[in-house]
Amino acid sequence: MSANPRIADYAIHEQFIQRWSPRAFTGEAISEETLLGFLEAARWAPSAYNSQPWRFLYARRDTPNWERYLGLLNEFNRSWAQHASALVIVISKTTFTAPGASEETPALWHEFDTGSAWGHLALQASISGWHTHGMAGFDQELTRKELKIPEGYDLHAVVAIGKLGDKATLAEYLQAREVPSPRRPLNELAAEGDFTL
């Protein structure tokens, strides 16, 4: 790992290394227009057969859904995400109708495709001066029940969205983690030809 955790080894758009996931948020409101802009970016992600399996449920702070959504997070995530501006639940549809078919069959790539949509969301938010933080730490069963998510849809993550806050507002052990993280070198992740990783 390089000394500066965010130096790209190859030429890429700076936005890729500028995006990172903080936990200190300002707790300011976000307009629905702004939030829908991030989801719009997600909408344009690629997917197998253009099946677009991603689905999003959201709550903005200071709205009736906010406390309900916060209650779905585990205690650790709630401790900092309560200062975010919005929470987005990332869901995918597990079946699709293939071209020419009349019945739905398993969508083998729904997770892969939905991951790419969340990536779009995160990058668009970052480009727009906001930050996102994905969370696996939430109660899937409770979320499904509470938000009436039917069978045939998988739940993946909750994304906190907000403006970057002062890390002094976080518990001390979290302040130390409030920095952009490094990445493994590319040669540990990609190989030409046979699998040598």
Ligand X SMILES: Cc1cc2nc3c(=O)[nH]c(=O)nc-3n(C[C@H](O)[C@H](O)[C@H](O)COP(=O)(O)O)c2cc1C
Point out which residues bind ligand X (CB under 6 A): 20-21, 77, 133-137, 157, 180-181
Q: How far is the CB of 100 from ligand X (least distance, A)?
A: 34
User: Scanning the structure block, which residue is given the tokens 């976080």?
Assistant: 170
We find the least distance from the C-beta atom of residue 122 to ligand X, in angstroms, to be 8
Nearer to ligand X, 121 or 135 (CB): 135
Taking the complex as a whole, the smallest distance from the CB of residue 58 to ligand X amounts, in Å, to 17
- Select 102 or 134, whichever has its Cβ closest to ligand X: 134
Least distance to ligand X from the beta carbon of 16, Å? 10
CB-nearer residue toward ligand X: 12 or 101: 12
Residue type, 16: F
Q: How far is the CB of 168 from ligand X (least distance, A)?
A: 18
Please, which residue, 68 or 139, has the CB nearer to ligand X? 139
Of residues 97 and 128, the one with the C-beta less far from ligand X: 128
Q: Which residues of 118-146 are buried (b: 16+ CB within 10 A; e: fewer)?
A: bebbbbbbbeeebbbbbbeebeeeebbee
> Which long-range contacts does 94-97 make (Cβ < 8 Å, 24+ apart)?
94/53, 94/152, 94/153, 94/154, 95/152, 96/49, 96/51, 96/53
Smallest gap from residue 157 Cβ to ligand X (A): 4
Q: What is the DSSP string of 105-164?
A: EE-TTHHHHHHHHHHHHHHHHHHTT-EEEEE--B-HHHHHHHTTPPTTEEEEEEEEEE-B
> Any idea what DSSP says for residue 14?
T
The smaller minimum CB distance to ligand X, of residues 136 and 171, is found at: 136
Helices 110-127 and 32-43, axial angle in degrees (round to 10): 140
